[in-house]
Amino acid sequence: MIRISAAWQLPATRLAVLWAIFAISWGAPTLWAQNSPDTGVNFIRTVDMVSAIVEDDTGQIIFSGKSGVVGTLSDAGAGMVARIFRTDVKDDFLVIEKVANDIVLLGSSKGDIYTYQKGDVKKIASLSAYSEPILDIDSHADLIWASGGRGLLATSTNGGGDWTGVEIGTVIQPELTLPSRQPGVWYLGVSNIDSESVVFNAQINGRPAVIDEDFELDVDEGRLTVFNQLDQGAASISFRFQPGPPYRGGDVTWSAVIADAGVVTLAGEFGLILQSTDQGKQWVRRDGVITREEPAQSYWLCGASRNGKIILGGAAGKIHLSSDSGLTWEPLPIDSQEGVFGVDFIDDDTPIVAGAVGLLGIYRGGSWAMADRTVLGLRSWGKNMLQLTGG
Amino acid sequence: MNGANNHHKMSMRLANLMIDHKFITMLLILIPSLVLGYALPRIEVYSRFADLLPQQHEYIKNYNRMKETFGGANVVTMSIEATEGDIFTTKTLKKIRMLTEEVDVIQGINHYQVASIAHPKIRRVRTTSSGLIKSEPVLPKVIPESERELKRLREEVFSNDIVYGTYVSTDGAAALILAGFDEERLDYSKIFKRLTELKEEIEADGETLLYITGEPMLKGWIYHHSSELKEIFAVTLGIIVLLLLLHFRSFAGVFIPLLGTGMSAVWGLGLVGWLGYNIDPLILVVPILISARTASHCVQIMERYQDALREGASKDAAVRTTMGELMVPASIAIFTDAAGLMVLAVSSVPIIAKLGIFCAFWSLSNLFTVVILVPLLLLLLPQPVVDQAKSSHLPSKLMSKMANFIVSPISTVPVLATVAVILIGGAYFAKDAEVGESTPGSPILFQDSEYNVAAQRINEKFAGSNQLSIYFESEQAHRMKDPEVLMVMQEFAKHMAGHETFGGTREIPGLVRSVNRLYHFDDPRWSIIPPTQRDVGNILFMYEAGAAVPGVILEYMDLEGKVANVVVFFKDATGATVTAAIARATEFLAAHPLDGVTYQFAGGIIGTTAAGNQEVQRSELLQTILIMVVVMLAVFFTYRSATAAALVFVVLAIAVLVNRAYMGMRGIGLNINTLPVTAVGIGVGVDYAIYVMDRVREEVRDKSLIDAIRAMLTTTGSAVLFTAVTVVGGIAYWIPGSVLRFNSEMAMLLSLLMISNMIGAITLLPWLIKVFKPKFVMREHREDVQP
């Protein structure tokens, strides 16, 4: 048994009363005392914890981390007592998730799925032929989704025992409106466009725009060049595309998968937010925009949903919120350039985020209230925010 | 006619020959003295890090091979600490930058081994929202001045894996600056002076403190304190002169031992000059000891000469008797001294081997500069006025009482009880003697010394400044990028973390994880090792290509990917930590072999110290046995007696025990510095034993054994007592007078050895002879005399 010697809690605000937020750090200051096998003397040791959940029946936290680390944290009054279970696994456990029937799944850095049950860890499936990491797992009812590096996406309906790979062929880009009638170059924010699927709805001098004469589309790079001024009225474009970098369709890291009733949301590289309502057969791109400048695309790192609201957190302080189950999105700008590694809701609809350099914020009244990292002594990155039993 | 008589007659003949041709003999001694003395100005007193390493040891061979790529272990570690708050103030950050820049221009610095948050190679790498990787110095070019910017910098530093806990303490109150130096000859005084100046500058406003440790700084402190040597030498000389004057009460009594000692030093140091050796300030105590022993031989001759005069002999006859009688025992004593020192030459540690060679020669020179020259000088000087009774001398008075006690039947219980106490007490404390340093910091200095306080402070604040390097090596290029190899390195790092003084690691898996994460927008989940060698290679290439200065990858591996440097940090380099670290590493790597990869031990201060300790452990046993065997063989062949050898063994064994017991009691580790001193010290007692045994043999010819012992104790015993007092008097001032703990402790140790050997020679040895009546003594006895 080892005893945790450092943890932090928010100060005594309403937030702390309602939630005991335990931001499990990824990095240095998670300190542990352990007996030295050489001398029997206690010393401090660091363990990295990458993902965590709360176990409903016991209220204790189950965490996972690098080099096959799986353990529990339980409240011992004055502090928390940690226990690490011995496993033979050398890979990193990047995600731990509770799915239906109280099954706890672990996703590894080599694309393997493990189950956890009372300290026992067992490998049950492999999702990637190329050992791509599993970055997120989510479920709704019996349908479990797992996403990861280089297009890894799979579903399971039997508690993680069997998985079916989900190939995202082409994605539907709903109609995008051009912001201006002026000629020039427009960036569509995606690559690998299926040229057969392109519908450019614009008039020039009272006639439909003609390709090569009035406009040109670089389908590989996703660049639309309009040669002539467009007529009054909305001009729009729709198409299908393969997500990924030019010429490498499908090569996208899906950092977050959010499973809700009847819809699944995927977010990851290239600022892509995709949704499917038919269990992955057909995908639609959300939050698409057309820009004059080559877009600085977001890199989504995490996501969460609650009561029809979805929040995504990304690199360099990017946060987007949807209040209509992902159909439309609004940015929630935060005064930080740090990566957002964890997002969630409190009070059912209040966003809360954690991230690099001790970033911790709550969105109230249309702005972010940031925790003072120096005052709180946050010396590492926060990622997982958990509601402990008893509020 | 027995062998011993033959020796006696031969030595008498030889003495007469040399005395009859005294000027030729003196000329024959003078010529080599001049030749050797010619090289004296070439002698240089300085220290070389490489001299302290056992060059034939496998670890050091590997270390020497690898240090060209990965840098050496001659590193200065500095910590700037804020006296209040933390280092994130404009003023303190400017000091960190200034110090980093200033140490980088000190002569002898290895520029690739300078590191701090102010050094361009220590970076903060971040990704923008569009995926652009930005690598910036941790400390911006323009040091922030506003509270907001400083706070921001503090938060960034605290979340930077490369910096947090390594270059900035976990409480933010201290910053670490590392500076590696070359290992060849360095001007440590100059380095020390410059670092001390920088320390004064940084501490001038009272807002920050600067702690400095590391081998070059330690050497600097030793050099700094070397200036005290002049004072100590002067006091030592003064004490010896005073004791000689009080004892002999004549000019000759002072002049001759000093001249003999001086001539001997010319021979010994002359050889140092001719061979181009350097003298390390830390081993200066050994030549002092040899000089003291030379003086003691001189005193024995002077004493014997005065005894002969006291017996009514003329000056010429007294000199002939003295030279003839003492030639054999003095030669054996000197030969055993020299042989004992020559044993040190087998060491693969250059400093010890060099010491063994020139000190053995120095000691052997006593055959000419003392055994031959001193009697000839006595012949040239006017005959001294000697106290006929001799009983007025304090040593004689004491020894007279001692003689009465030893020859009486009541001596048995006290002598045996004392021996028993020494054996039991010695064994009790000797068990605590350990190889290597016994306390954190340097045992060369006192615990409250500035250096050791700094070492302690730095170890409290940082992960540990003591490195162990294990080299993974393969013939195959890029093998060090193989995930299979990385996995073993990672598991190795985890395994090493099981030791209580573990501070952290620096290895390729950690770097790959860190860079991989950065290239995935800092996502912690991407802090993983990619599955293929090619992916790992790409990450390492990006790290090297994106660095501000070339060669940053060389901290981890060579450019071909054939050799990797896995570094484990520890909080101290005590013997216990070093042994445990090597044992843990060996245990793990033996159980985790990799095809085509060999694990090469070991670099860093822990690796080189481990090599030194292992060599010391091996040498210590070997040298102790060799010294004993050489001495006993010399005694055996001289007296043709196993009993004589056994008696010498008893004295030597007690000396070894006392030596170990004191080291265990005082927590002095057996290391490269202490080994030669203890080895030399062990042999000290042999001189006394040989003089004592020889005098009993001489006296027993015409006396009963009891009377012979009594006569020996009042003559030679008195000389033994006096020479021991002289030698101890000579080195005793080092005990309170030296700022260096090493010199102080070694002086104490040697004083104890001298005293215990002296007591053994004048109590236990005569008692043993009285009880066992050994044949090699009794065969000298004339049959017509009452036994």
Report pLDDT digits (tens) over A315-336. 889 999 999 999 999 999 998 8
Mean per-residue pLDDT, B414-431: 85
Torsion-angle region of A365 (φ positive above 0: left; ψ -120 to 50: alpha; else: beta): left
Q: For the beta carbon of residue A7, count every other beta carbon within 10 angstroms.
A: 16
CA B320 to chain centroid, in Å, comes to 42
Task: Give residue-wise pLDDT tens across range B242-269.
Answer: 888 877 778 888 888 888 888 998 998 8
> Nearest Cβ partner of A133 from B159, B502, B525?
B525
Q: How confident is the model at residue B576 (pLDDT cuts 50, 70, 90)?
A: confident
Contact call for B159 and A379, based on CB within 8 A:
yes
Write down the pLDDT at residue A38. Answer: 47
Chain B contact set for A337 (CB, 8 A) = 126, 128-129
Three-class SS of A183-235? CEEEECCCCCECHHHCEEECEECCEECCECCCEEEECCCCEEEECCCCCCCCC
DSSP string computed for B604-664: HHHHHHHHHHHHHHHHHHHHHHHHHHHHHHHHHHHHT-HHHHHHHHHHHHHHHHHHHHHHH
Say yes or no: B490 contacts chain A, CB-CB below 8 A: yes
> Nearest Cβ partner of B151 from A67, A133, A374?
A374
Q: Nearest residue of B to residue A356 by CA position?
A: B159
CB proximity list for B368: less than 8 A, separation 6 or greater: B29, B32, B267
Contact A99, A143 (CB under 8 A): no
Task: Give residue-wise pLDDT tens across range B487-509.
Answer: 999 999 988 888 878 888 888 99
In this predicted structure, which of A93-107, B424-438, B530-544 has the lowest mean pLDDT?
A: B424-438
Chain A contact set for B170 (CB, 8 A) = 28-29, 379
Tell me the shortest Cα–Cα distance from B775 to chain A, in angstroms.
Answer: 54
| Average pLDDT across chain B, whole number | 83
Mean per-residue pLDDT, B146-169: 83
Angle at A29 between CA A24 and CA A35, to 5 degrees: 105
Write down the pLDDT at residue A29. Answer: 34
Write down the pLDDT at residue A195. Answer: 92
Q: For the beta carbon of residue B138, count every other beta carbon within 10 angstroms.
A: 20
DSSP 8-state secondary structure symbol assigned to residue B313: -
Q: For the beta carbon of residue B105, count every other beta carbon within 10 angstroms.
A: 10
Mutate to test the interface with B, among A35, A43, A272 (most CBs of B within 10 A): A43
> Nearest Cβ partner of A37 from B161, B498, B528?
B498
Say yes or no: B521 contacts chain A, CB-CB below 8 A: yes
Q: How confident is the model at residue A44 (pLDDT cuts 50, 70, 90)?
A: low
End-to-end CA distance of chain A: 26
Beta strands per DSSP E along B494-550: 502-506
Chain A contact set for B498 (CB, 8 A) = 36-38
Contact B267, B33 (CB under 8 A): yes
Q: CA-to-CA distance for B388 and B310, rounded, in angstroms?
A: 5
Q: CA-to-CA distance for B52 and B281, rounded, in angstroms?
A: 13
**pTM value?**
0.76
CB proximity list for A14: less than 8 A, separation 6 or greater: none
- Judged against a pLDDT cut of 70, whether residue B145 lies above it is answered with yes
For residues B277 and A388, which has the higher predicted lDDT (pLDDT)? B277
Q: CA-to-CA distance for B528 and B524, rounded, in angstroms?
A: 9
Mutate to test the interface with A, among B128, B521, B571 (most CBs of A within 10 A): B521
Hey, is B190 helix, strand or coil?
Answer: helix
Q: CA-to-CA distance for B640 and B716, rounded, in angstroms?
A: 22
Contact call for B131 and A315, based on CB within 8 A:
yes
Contact call for B159 and A356, based on CB within 8 A:
yes
Write down the pLDDT at residue B89. Answer: 92
Contact B328, B8 (CB under 8 A): yes
Write down the pLDDT at residue A25. Answer: 41
Q: How confident is the model at residue B6 (pLDDT cuts 50, 70, 90)?
A: low
Task: Give residue-wise pLDDT tens across range B388-404.
Answer: 655 556 777 788 888 88
Contact call for A383 and B524, based on CB within 8 A:
yes
* Both tokens assigned to A195: 């040229």
CB proximity list for B27: less than 8 A, separation 6 or greater: none
Say yes or no: B129 contacts chain A, CB-CB below 8 A: yes
Write down the pLDDT at residue B582. Answer: 93
Chain B contact set for A8 (CB, 8 A) = none
Q: Nearest residue of B to residue A301 by CA position?
A: B523
DSSP 8-state secondary structure symbol assigned to residue A236: E
Residue whose entry in the numeric block shows the structure tokens 């700022």: B739
DSSP 8-state secondary structure symbol assigned to residue A375: H
Is the ipTM of this structure higher than 0.90?
Answer: no
Q: CA-to-CA distance for B279 and B357, rounded, in angstroms?
A: 12
- Give, in order, the Cα–Cα distances in Å from B627 to each of B254, B337, B633, B648: 32, 9, 10, 12
Contact call for B129 and A341, based on CB within 8 A:
no
Contact call for A315 and B151, based on CB within 8 A:
no
Write down the pLDDT at residue B152. Answer: 82
Write down the pLDDT at residue A32. Answer: 42
Q: For the beta carbon of residue A129, count every other beta carbon within 10 angstroms.
A: 9
CB proximity list for B50: less than 8 A, separation 6 or greater: B183, B184, B350
Q: How confident is the model at residue A379 (pLDDT cuts 50, 70, 90)?
A: low
Tell me the shortest Cα–Cα distance from A52 to chain B, in angstroms.
Answer: 13
Contact call for A133 and B528, based on CB within 8 A:
yes
In this predicted structure, which of B180-184, B515-519, B524-528 has the lowest mean pLDDT?
A: B180-184
Pick from B189, B199, B200: which is nearest to B226 by CA?
Answer: B189
Pick from B300, B582, B601, B616: which is nearest to B437 by CA?
Answer: B616
Write down the pLDDT at residue B467. Answer: 85
Contact call for A38 and B170, based on CB within 8 A:
no
Contact call for B129 and A95, based on CB within 8 A:
no
Pick from B294, B356, B282, B147: which is nearest to B742 by CA?
Answer: B282
Q: How confident is the model at residue B164 (pLDDT cuts 50, 70, 90)?
A: confident
For residues B4 and B692, which has the higher predicted lDDT (pLDDT)? B692
- Judged against a pLDDT cut of 60, whether residue A354 lies above it is answered with yes
- Judged against a pLDDT cut of 90, whether residue A192 lies above it is answered with yes
Pick from A322, A357, A342: which is nearest to A255 by CA?
Answer: A342
- Judged against a pLDDT cut of 60, whether residue B485 lies above it is answered with yes
In this structure, chain A runs to a length of: 391
Chain B contact set for A296 (CB, 8 A) = 128-130
Residue A64, strand partner residues: A51, A70
User: Which amino acid belongs to residue B767?
Assistant: W
DSSP 8-state secondary structure symbol assigned to residue B519: T
Q: CA-to-CA distance for B53 and B47, rounded, in angstroms?
A: 12
The packing angle between helices B718-732 and B741-759, to 10°, is 170
Contact call for B129 and A26, based on CB within 8 A:
no
Say yes or no: B151 contacts chain A, CB-CB below 8 A: yes
Q: CA-to-CA distance for B208 and A219, rounded, in angstroms?
A: 62
Quote the percentage of chain B above a pLDDT of 90.
14
* Both tokens assigned to B542: 């990006």
Say yes or no: B497 contacts chain A, CB-CB below 8 A: yes
For residues B370 and B624, which has the higher predicted lDDT (pLDDT)? B370
- Judged against a pLDDT cut of 60, whether residue B18 lies above it is answered with yes
Q: CA-to-CA distance for B120 and B108, rounded, in angstroms?
A: 20
Contact call for A67 and B155, based on CB within 8 A:
no
Chain B contact set for A90 (CB, 8 A) = 487, 491
Contact call for A109 and B487, based on CB within 8 A:
no
Mean per-residue pLDDT, B275-292: 78
Q: Nearest residue of B to residue A302 by CA position?
A: B523
Task: Give residue-wise pLDDT tens across range B437-468.
Answer: 766 677 677 878 888 899 888 888 886 668 89
Mutate to test the interface with A, among B164, B523, B586 (most CBs of A within 10 A): B523
Write down the pLDDT at residue B563. Answer: 92
In this predicted structure, which of A40-44, B122-126, B411-415, B622-626 has the lowest mean pLDDT?
A: A40-44
Task: Give residue-wise pLDDT tens across range A254-304.
Answer: 999 999 998 999 999 999 999 999 999 999 999 899 999 888 888 999 999
For residues B234 and B536, which has the higher predicted lDDT (pLDDT)? B536
User: Which amino acid belongs to residue A285?
Assistant: R
Mean per-residue pLDDT, B401-429: 84
In this structure, chain B runs to a length of: 787
* Both tokens assigned to B681: 């010290």
% helix, strand, coil for chain A, step of 5: 10, 45, 45
Tell me the shortest Cα–Cα distance from B548 to chain A, in angstroms.
Answer: 23
CA A260 to chain centroid, in Å, comes to 14
Say yes or no: A383 contacts chain B, CB-CB below 8 A: yes
Say yes or no: A135 contacts chain B, CB-CB below 8 A: yes
Mean per-residue pLDDT, B135-149: 85
Angle at B537 between CA B601 and CA B168, to 5 degrees: 65
> Nearest Cβ partner of B164 from A36, A374, A379?
A379
Hey, is A70 helix, strand or coil?
Answer: strand
Strand order in the sheet with B563-570: B502-506, B563-570, B466-474, B597-603
Torsion of CA B523, B534, B484, A66, to 10 degrees: 0
Strand order in the sheet with A215-218: A184-187, A223-226, A215-218
> Nearest Cβ partner of B521 from A132, A315, A380?
A315
Pick from A238, A224, A181: which is nearest to A205 by CA?
Answer: A181
- The verdict on whether omega for the bond into residue B602 sits within 30 degrees of 0, i.e. cis, is yes
Tell me the shortest Cα–Cα distance from B541 to chain A, in angstroms.
Answer: 21
CB proximity list for B384: less than 8 A, separation 6 or greater: B248, B250, B252, B253, B306, B309
Chain B contact set for A189 (CB, 8 A) = none
Contact call for B127 and A339, based on CB within 8 A:
yes
Say yes or no: B227 contacts chain A, CB-CB below 8 A: no
Tell me the shortest Cα–Cα distance from B105 to chain A, in angstroms.
Answer: 34
* Both tokens assigned to B754: 């001298």
Q: Nearest residue of A to residue B529 by CA position?
A: A109
Contact call for A94 and B487, based on CB within 8 A:
no
Hey, is B473 helix, strand or coil?
Answer: strand
* Both tokens assigned to B123: 């970076």
